[in-house]
Structure formats: structure tokens, C-alpha cells
Amino acid sequence: MQCTQIQINHHYVGLWFGHDFHPQFPSFAACSKELKECSGHVFVDSVPEFCLPETELIDLSTVDVILISNYHCMMALPYITEHTGFTGTVYATEPTLQIGRLLMEELVNFIERVPKAQSASFWKNKDVQRLLPSPLKDAVEVSTWRRCYSMQEVNSALSKIQLVGYSQKIELFGAVQVTPLSSGYALGSSNWVIQSHYEKVSYVSGSSLLTTHPQPMDQASLKNSDVLILTGLTQIPTANPDGMVGEFCSNLALTVRNGGNVLVPCYPSGVIYDLLECLYQYIDSAGLSNVPFYFISPVANSSLEFSQIFAEWLCHNKQTKVYLPEPPFPHAELIQTNKLKHYPSIHGDFSNDFRQPCVVFTGHPSLRFGDVVHFLELWGKSSLNTVIFTEPDFSYLEALAPYQPLAMKCIYCPIDTRLNFIQVSNLLKEVQPLHVVCPEQYTQPPPTQSHRMDLMIDCQPPAMSYHRAEVLALPFKRRYEKIEIMPELADSLVPIEIKPGISLATVSAVLHTKDNKHVLQPPPRPTQPTSGKKRKRVSDDIPDCKVLKPLLSGSIPVEQFVQTLEKHGFSDIKVEDTAKGHIVLLQEAETLIQIEEDSTHIICDSDEMLRVRLRDLVLKFLQKF
Amino acid sequence: MLDCGMHMGFNDDRRFPDFSYITQNGRLTDFLDCVIISHFHLDHCGALPYFSEMVGYDGPIYMTPPTQAICPILLEDYRKIAVDKKGEANFFTSQMIKDCMKKVVAVHLHQTVQVDDELEIKAYYAGHVLGAAMFQIKVGSESVVYTGDYNMTPDRHLGAAWIDRCRPNLLITESTYATTIRDSKRCRERDFLKKVHETVERGGKVLIPVFALGRAQELCILLETFWERMNLKAPIYFSTGLTEKANHYYKLFITWTNQKIRKTFVQRNMFEFKHIKAFDRAFADNPGPMVVFATPGMLHAGQSLQIFRKWAGNEKNMVIMPGYCVQGTVGHKILSGQRKLEMEGRQVLEVKMQVEYMSFSAHADAKGIMQLIGQAEPEHVLLVHGEAKKMEFLKQKIEQEFRVNCYMPANGETVTLPTSPSIPVGISLGLLKREMAQGLLPDAKKPRLLQGTLIMKDSNFRLVSSEQALKELGLAEHQLRFTCRVHLHDARKEQETVMRVYSHLKSILKDHCVQHLPDGSVTVESILIQAAAHSEDPGTKVLLVSWTYQDEELGSYLTSLLKKGLPQAPS
């Protein structure tokens, strides 16, 4: 699990979920004590527990907004909305909400069926854990692992979600605008653009450039980003999803032709739609038309139905089908022709309809709970059967470990359509962000393939990386903010063209700030002196020195200045040259004006009328700033 | 251009808008940035192929996905009636409908679509029919909201219209039911069911002219559940093959229906009917009671009109008009009480069947319109899509209640609205922070003046401090300084005079920084005061008060203060 928090401008804190939150492996197996050995591996026997996102660093009650990237990234939401003092808003698209609900519902349902009543805790003692073999020894933050939430908590959490559509601009606190964009990875999956008028941060997580069922990734709207935060890349950068799908189909066909059964541990939504579509095109040519396909999940029916109603979130081909009107996914036809059947669980109708050989899609892909456990026990002893792993979230070897020894064939065809490093480099070329920020592991080759320099992000300037619990200052400097000039004030401005194409106007106005929106209003009219009834105090007249006068620029041509003086009734004017300029003498008025390139000094008696007249004549030659 | 409808009441040139109003001459594409279609009813999209293919328009046409799906079907339906049945010439072809639809761009709810560099549009849910939308059209800080047709109360299959407080400069709203405050939905439904039931009981036939999509689905759901509950046997038919297709659309676009249907669709599809069957033309002559939903809804052509002609003569029968009818249509004529209709070929049709009007068409009533105005908070309101007399009444009400200007222009009339947009500029953060920090000072109640320079280059407007503006333009500051001589009658030494000046100023200028410097001068903020002996009169001292133009007020104040003289030293 990963989350990224961004703080902007003091008043806004956002939180994103990057990767999925996973059931942690040390769980499952049957023994009276907590620890159990199986084929040389040690396991913890417990109710499944879940590792939460980092909550120590962040006070979640201060988080204002959570933006959800896709339905795989919201599985920890109930822990946050229900138990941390979080009072903000959660934004997500409609498919993310609906399918996320299905995933949670399935999880809760599976966990409720796990017969264990107790959570194992003895092994979590640091002194005990230290002595355990890997991977138990290396498990992080085990003390914070939690039991699964209830359906009630799920409903409460989801009720806090505010639905948004792609390219919808959402104003937050008047300070920033956030916009979800299609990320191409799953139904309703989003990248998020967070921008003010002068800065733009893009959060790219779980994106795909492949053409599968979702709407293609919106790359154009990511352009001109100051910072692009990149995360949720493919977990298997060396596997080509197309090749994997081909392998999946051929292994499936081979097994069934030999009279064996195929088990596909999977989530109830997502890649399964693409697999069913491939099989729809494949089964007739492969002579599989009589083989039953079973999809078993408490949310199987809902998932298949929901997939058909999100036309707006689908790729172009599928959208056009809806206009005919035809269901966008061909699994509707598989169901109609009885080739695909779906059941809420292995109990009830399924036991009557069950025919072998067959293909079963069911969860949970961790193999620690759900109906998949039943099929592994049923089919594990025969080498005719095959289990095909398609979900990339779990190591299939670790997942299978407690079931060893296993005679069943195991095929690993991980299908992860998220960006690989070649696609990332193409994306960055296209989008050209000023800075890239990403998790540390993307800036170096994977530890197991340290020679593969191509398996890392390569960009200029080099990506800024962060690791768990690190706080990073994003590399941009804010220089401007938007302010609105009220029409009355705008009318009063007098622009002067200083250079070709550049005009200036001095502004003196009253600043009003409300809800982070700044407005400039015309200055108040000078108040009329109140009638003299009240005794006037001396201090009433004292001017406010905070009222700034504009700066001046320009120079004063002496000859013209003298002419102007004469025109305004001054006589007896004498001009003397000095080293740096001139002195203009008004002998009658005992006044002296020193004029230099960038300064003017008026020296006179305390005759305010005279001084003001001279001042205004000088100002005529200068520009105000 | 907002909507592109046709007039149901005319069969000649007048049925389509006169687009030469827009161009005078020249191509439409040069005059229009885009066309927005609010929903699929023909009075809002019926002229679209004529407009884009026959008059000629190549720009984008925006509509929601359900409208995009259903609109071509209704256009084709309409074309068939006009050309195939009535044999009209100079009408758009099927190919033209297809070509026209290729220019359509789908808009999703709340998505902000950037039409060009300046113009952006955003759709809101309108509830009137499947896919109906209201549109906000925005350029800079100025905006217009066009409602299309909308409904502020949720019905059996659609939700209520909703808009945020977007404060447009102008709200253009429909006003079909400008003066009607409709009774509760339940009452209307009960009334409708009672009338249908009574007619069927006495062996009569009920004709309900509808449009294939929209109200029809709501009434079908209503009758279906009633038939189920009352265990009625009389057949219900739905005309034309559109039904099934229509129901498919409702299923696939279920996210556009109301909350309840969306929640339960996995368990039960509300659009699969048990009691409602497809209609065959021959059924119209069957004896016994029946209920028929037939298209089109205004009895201006097609199957509904055919059935109406067959059944009109029998007083046992009933026609229920569930929606609004445009002037000139048969529907409008019978609703206004006409019982002798002149049909084609000078034939006169006498209407003996009962004629009922039930306002089921999902328009906002007066209350709903007021509610929407309250939600959006526009500066001006413009009424369209209604009848002048009723609009006049509503206009007064709006002006009274909301204190906004309300307009109701006739066709072809131009309305000019004044707007005063504020100008967005970028303010340098340094200047803004300096100003906001001052706002936090204790006597912040006094309005403070922000002083800055607006730099305008092309369309880039930036407000910066004066210093920064000078620096950016590479200009030097010109310093303007004043020095005033103030004569004081004081025989004491200069130093003592200075001391007296200092203590005098200190006692008056409590909020200012008054300092006595070691070199014998006094400063008030950045204003310098020095004393010198008078060259001729030893009993007079000359104070030199010196300040820059930026300290103008304070400098001027000080000279006038000192000119009044110093108070006598307390003895």
C-alpha cells in the first residue's frame, strides 16, 4: 500500500492511494498453535489481517480531500474514514465507487466465511518475529495490521464519496482545482491534475496505454505540468500482456482438451472482462464450445451487469455498440448462450450444475480465502488440472506454498496492463513535465535484475525519488496568484504604452480576500470632513503613512520644463548648469529646483500652494509606477 | 447555437428554423463555434440534418451519449413519416442523418469541454427525458446557462434536474408550464389510473399518444404495476418496433435514470414489461377494451393519428394526452376544445370520444422554475419555450422575488445584456503577501490601499510592486524630493530648537517613528528635519523639512504643523 500526500499553500492537503492494499501473506493453514510448518515453510495460522497505509506520519483528521485513482486503490478506505477522525471529502468516479464496492463486498463476504475466530498475535512480538524465517521476519509494521472491516463500515465509508466525471473541474477551497482524467487502466480509473492558475501538478498512477476495455488514457491534459508524480507502474515490466493472454488461452485449451479442469484465481472485475472477451473469440475455434465456464463470486452477477452500463467510461469500440443498442461486452452473449454461468458461491445452484472438465474463475487471488481454496483442495492432487495465475498482485509461489505438495500444473501468466518503462519514456516525451517525482524503486533496476538498466525511469532532469515515510519538497516556486480587478476599478485605470506592446497602469486599490479568492476594489472616496461640531483632535489629520505613492521614472528635459513654467506664470527664471544636470532658479519665489538624470529636488519656502503647483508640473514629465 | 428543433405544427418551410437569421449570407460554420443539443425531442433536434447537411455546417455538435444514441432513431422515424407516408419532397435523407451524426461529440455530465481557446461548456442533469441536459456556456468569467427542457421533481424513471450555484450572467430557461403549479405527482398518477380503469371497465378503448422514448416508459411502468396489482386482463399495447429498442437504451444508459432504478437494476430490470405487448395495426379494430400507447405524441401524424381517427367517433373511448401539444397539431386542437376537425381532403372528423389532458410531460412547473433560478442565482433570466401570456406572469414573479431582470423576447427579437466582468490578473506573491501581512496588523479595520503596477503585455496581465515593474522594464527610478524652509521665531540655540521640535512631534505623532539623531537632526519615518540659524535674523531659526514624493502626505502635513509654531515650553 502506498499513499502520497501533497500539501499546497497551507490550506490544502490531499491524499492519494497509489497501490493496492494487500492481504498479507503470513496467514492461513491449520494447526492448534499459531505457527505451522508446511513443506519447509513456516506460516501463521490466523484470521487474515491487512496492512494499512502509513498513518503514523499523517494526522488524518487534518486531511481535507482524498482522491481515488481506481477501484483497486480504495480497499483501505473504511479504515481511514471510519477510525481516524478524517472528516474530509473523498472524490472518485462512479465506476470506481460501484466496482470498489463490489470488491469490498466480496472481501468481507470471503473473510466472514473464514472459520477462524482468533487473530494470531504471539508471533508479532518483535523478539519472536526476529527469530522467524523469511518472509515472516521481514514483514513490516505487523503491529498495525488489522482485521477486515464490516459491510456496515464499507457502506459508511462509501457514502462519503463525492462522484466526479472525467474532465470535471472541482474547486477546492478556492485555492486549487482538481480534475480527474482517464488513465486507461480500469473502468473509471483516473489520473488527477491539481492546479492553481500558475502551477500544475499531475498525479499519474495506474495508467495504461494498451487498448483494453476502458477509455484510453488522456495524455494531452497532462501537458504543461510543473511536476508529474508517477507511480503504479506495471509490477512485471518484462511480461507483455498480449503474449500472456495468448499463453493463457492456449494453456486453458490444452488442459481442457486433456480432460482436466482450469482454475483461474481472479478479482471479480477488471482483467476478467478482457479474458472473457478473448475466450469469446477463441472458444469456437479451439473447439471449446461445450466446456462450461463458471464465474463464482458473491458479486459475479453484479460485476457482469455493472460492466454493461458504464458505456461512457469504455473505449470507443464498446461505446459505439451501445448506440446500436447492444451490450458493450460480449460476455452478455456468453451468458445468454449458457456458455458462461455465474454463481454467488459454490453452494446452492452451483453444486447441481457443476460439470467437469470446466473452467472456474473465482477469488481470492491471494489463495488465502474465498472459493478458490475449495477448488485448490479439490483439484490439487491431479496433474490433469491447471491453475493459471493472471493477477500480478501476488507472488504465485508464495500463494501456493501452503498447498504444497501440489500435483496440479501451475501456469504463471501475469497480465498487468499498467505502464512499463518504455511506455513511461514515451509518455514523458509526449507530456514533457518540468519535473518527475516517483518512488525510489523506479529509479534503479529491480534488485533481481540489476543489469537491466532499461527497467528504470530515465528522464531529464533526473526524476526526484522518495521512499517510504519521506517528505519531499516539490521543486517549484510560486510567484503569482490570481486576483480579480472589479470592473469599476478597471474602468478607472489609465494604461500608458511604455514600450511597444507593453502597457502599464498604476493601481491603487483595496484588497479583499475571502475563501482564498482575492478581489481588488476601487479605493474609498475621501470622506467629507464631518461638520465641525465635534472637537477636532490634532491626530485626526495625521496621514496614514502606509498609503504608498507610486514610484516615478523618466527624466525632465530642462528647456521644456522652463517653457512650461513660463506658460504657468512663473517669470524671472534662471537656469544654471551643474556637473550632473541643471539648477532652475525661480528668484521671485526664492525657489530652487535641482534637475538631474534620475532625480529632482525642489527647495522652497513653506508655501504649500507653490510647492504643489511645482510638484504637479514636474510630475507631468514623469511616469508613475 | 442552442438546440436545432423543428415545429410540429407546420408541414411547409416554416417547420424548420430560418438559419439566414444567423448568417445573412455566408457559411454557418464561420458564424457558429458549436451547436449544443439539450435532448432528443424533435422540437430540439428535428432540424439538425437539415441544418448541417442541407444548409451546411461542419463544426462540432455537442450532446450527451443517450441523446446521441436516440436522436438519429427519432430523426429517421420522423423522416419516414414525412417522406414515405406523406410523400414530402426536399427533405433530408437517411444518409444525411448519418453524416450529421458524425459531427456529434459526446459530452458527459459535469465534464468541462473546451470548445476552443476561450469557450467551454459543461452539462448538468435535466431529468426531462433520458439524457436530457442543461448546459453552462462559459467564456472567461462570463457565463450563460441554457436549461433545455427540465424537470425539478423526480419521476418513476428519471431523477430531478440539478445545478450548482454557478451564478451565470444569464439563465435561459424553458417556461412551458409557466403558470401551472402542479398538484402532487401521486394525485396525478391516481387520476390517470382511475380514468384508464373506468374506460376499460365500461368496455372502451384508451389511446395514449406518446413519444417512443421518455414519458412512455414512465407510464408503462405505472400501468404495468397497476395491472399487476388489480389483476386486470384488458390488453395493453405499445405501437411500433421502437419499444424494445427503447427499453434496451434505458437498460444500457441506466446511470441516467433515477436512484431507485439504478440501485435495483441488477435484481430487476424495470424496463421488462409483462403486460405490455407489441401493437399490430389490425388490433385497432378488435372489439373490447384495450389501452394503446401510440406515437407520435401530438397526434400530428403516424400511427397515433390513424388510431385516433378510427376511435374518435365512439364516446365510450378516451384519448389521454399526457404531454404538451404545439399549436397547429391535432393534439392542440382537441385540447383547446375543438370537436370538429378538418382532415386531409376536406374530410371532417367529429370527435365524440372523451379527451383528457394530463400534464405528465416532465417540464418544470412555475415552482420548479423558481427553484432552479434560486439554485443557479443568475444575474438575468430569459424565458423561452412557452406562451407569451403565461410567460408575462412568470416574468413578473421572477422580477419580484429575485430582483433580477427578466426578458421574454419574441422570435427574431434581439436582447442585449450589459455585463461587467471583473478582470483576472496575476498578482505577484510578494506584493500579495506584503499586503496580507499588513491586513493582520491591529488597526486593520481602516481600509488599506494596495499600490502596484499592472503590466499588460499581449493578453498577459500581471500586477507587481512598483519596484519590480521598474526593474522588469529596465528603468531607473526618478527621485522627486522636496525641501521646505519653515521659519520659526525662536531665539534659543539650534540644538534646543531641535529638541523642542522633537518633543512636540513625539507628543503628537504617537503612531509614527520619531527619532532624534546624533547629528542633530530629527526624523519622522523617512522625513528629515534640520535646523539652521537665519542668516539675517538671529531670533529666527529655519527648519529644513525634506521628504520624497512617496512621503508626500506626511511631509506636507509636517510642514503645515511646524508652520503653526511650537508650543511654549512648560515652565
Nearest residue of chain B to residue A545 (CA atoms) = B554
Average confidence (pLDDT) over A601-607: 87
Average the pLDDT over A403-417 and give the result. Answer: 93
First to last CA, chain B: 87
Residue whose C-alpha cell is 535646523: B531
C-alpha dist (Å) from residue B178 to A114, A518, B344, B362, B384: 62, 40, 34, 13, 10
- Of A3-7, A402-406, A451-455, B452-456, give the lowest mean pLDDT range: A3-7
Instruction: Determine contact: A484 vs chain B, CB below 8 A.
Output: yes
Q: What is the pLDDT of residue B266?
A: 84
Q: What is the CA radius of gyration of chain B?
A: 38
Output the pLDDT for position B442. 52
Q: Is residue A74 part of a domain?
A: yes
Q: What would be the CATH architecture of the domain defined by B481-564?
A: 2-Layer Sandwich (3.30)
Instruction: Answer for the pair A202, A228: CB distance below 8 angstroms, yes or no.
Output: yes
Residue A140 and residue A265 share a domain? no
Q: Using CA atoms, how far apart are residues B230 and B204, in angstroms rounded to an integer?
A: 18
Residue B369 in grid coordinates: 422554475
User: Residue B495: what pLDDT?
Assistant: 84
User: Residue A112 domain-assigned?
Assistant: yes
Q: Evaluate whether A105 touches A268 at the Cβ level (below 8 Å).
A: no
CB pairs under 8 A between A and B: 275
* Residues of chain B numbered 443-502 and touching chain A (CB < 8 Å): 446-458, 462-463, 466-467, 469-470, 473, 475-487
Backbone angles phi and psi of B278, in degrees to 5: -70, 145
Cα gap A478→A87, rounded to integer Å? 29
Determine the pLDDT at residue A543.
62
Extract the C-alpha cell encoding B513.
Answer: 517613528
What single DSSP character describes residue A303?
H
Query: Which among A412, A435, A469 is the end of a domain?
Result: A412
Residue of A159, A491, A548 to mutate, interface with B, max B Cβ within 10 Å = A548
Place of cell 428554423: B17
> In chain A, which residue's Cα lies nearest the Cα of B420?
A487
Count other Cβ atoms within 10 Å, centred on residue A579: 5
Residue written as grid cell 462540432: B60
State residue B97's pLDDT score: 96
Q: Does A548 touch chain B (CB under 8 A)?
A: yes
Is the CB of A487 less than 8 angstroms away from the CB of B423?
yes
Contact B485 A544 (CB under 8 A): no
pLDDT for residue A378:
94
DSSP H helices in A70-195: 77-83, 94-113, 126-131, 151-158
Q: Is residue A14 part of a domain?
A: yes
The answer on pLDDT for A377 being more than 80 is yes
Domain, as residue range, for A589? 552-624
- How does pLDDT run across A28-78, given as a tens digit for each residue? 333 335 666 766 677 777 777 887 776 677 788 888 899 999 999 898 899
Which CATH class, in words, describes the domain spanning B13-180+362-407?
alpha beta
d(CA A58, CA A78): 17
Give percent above pLDDT 90 in chain A: 50
What was the pLDDT predicted at B498? 87
**Residues of B (331-390) whose Cβ lies below 8 Å from A:** none
What is the rounded distance in angstroms from the CA atom of residue B53 to the CA atom of residue B47?
A: 10
* C-alpha span between A59 and A56 (Å, rounded): 7
**Residue B512 at interface with chain A, using a CB cutoff of 8 Å:** yes
Cβ(B493)–Cβ(B532) under 8 Å? Answer: no
Cβ contacts of residue A321 below 8 Å, gap of 6+?
A327, A328
Give the chain A residue nearest B482 (alpha carbons). Answer: A602
As given in the structure block, the three cell numbers for residue A541 are: 489629520
- Nearest-Å Rg of the Cα atoms of chain A is 36
Domain B185-357: assigned CATH number: 3.40.50.10890
Specify the number of domains making up chain A.
Answer: 3
A168 in contact with B at a CB cutoff of 8 Å?
A: yes
Instruction: For residue A59, tell me if it sits in a domain.
Output: yes
- From A112, A134, A163, the end of a domain falls on A163
List the CATH number of the domain containing A245.
3.40.50.10890
Residue A216 lies in a domain: no
Reported ipTM: 0.82
Residue A230, helix vs strand vs coil: strand
Last residue of a domain, one of A357, A380, A412: A412
Helix, coil or strand: residue A197: coil
- Whether A494 has its CB under 8 Å from any CB of chain B: the answer is no
Distance from the Cα of residue B71 to its chain's centroid: 22
Domain residue spans in chain B? Answer: 13-180+362-407, 185-357, 425-473, 481-564
CA distance B449 to B445: 12
3-state secondary structure of A311: helix
Tens-level pLDDT at each residue, chain B (571 residues): 999 999 877 878 888 999 988 888 889 999 999 999 999 988 899 999 999 999 999 999 999 999 999 999 889 888 887 787 677 778 999 999 999 999 999 999 999 999 999 999 999 999 988 999 999 999 988 999 999 999 998 888 889 999 999 999 999 999 988 777 666 667 888 889 999 999 999 999 999 998 777 778 888 888 988 998 999 999 999 876 566 777 788 888 999 998 888 888 888 777 778 888 888 888 989 999 999 999 888 888 888 999 999 999 999 999 999 877 877 889 999 999 999 988 877 788 999 999 998 877 677 888 899 999 999 999 999 999 888 888 999 999 999 999 999 999 998 899 999 888 888 999 998 888 887 776 665 555 555 678 889 999 988 899 998 888 888 888 888 999 999 999 888 878 888 888 888 988 988 888 788 899 888 889 988 889 988 887 777 788 888 999 998 888 888 888 988 888 887 755 4
- A131 belongs to a structural domain: yes
- Is there a contact between B415 and B453 (Cβ–Cβ < 8 Å)? no
The three cell numbers locating residue A154: 464499507
Residue of B438, B462, B466, B477 best to disrupt the A interface, most CBs of A under 10 A? B466
Q: Which cell numbers in the block locate residue A361?
A: 474463475
Nearest CA in chain B to A322: B252
Could you tell me if residue A54 is inside a domain?
A: yes
Q: Both A291 and A383 in a single domain? A: yes
Residues 6+ apart with CB under 8 A from B301: B81, B82, B85, B86
Residue ranges of A 591-610 with Cβ closer than 8 A to chain B: 597-606, 608
Q: What share of chain A is helix, strand, coil (3-state, %, to 5)?
A: 30, 25, 45
| Residues of B identified as active-site | 174
A298 belongs to a structural domain: yes
Of A309, A495, A518, the CB nearest to B432: A518
DSSP type of residue B569? P
Is residue A8 very low, low, confident or very high in pLDDT (cuts 50, 70, 90)?
very low
- Centre a 10 Å sphere on the Cβ of residue A589 and count the other Cβ atoms it contains: 17
**Range of lowest pLDDT (A48-62, A263-277, A426-440, B101-115):** A48-62
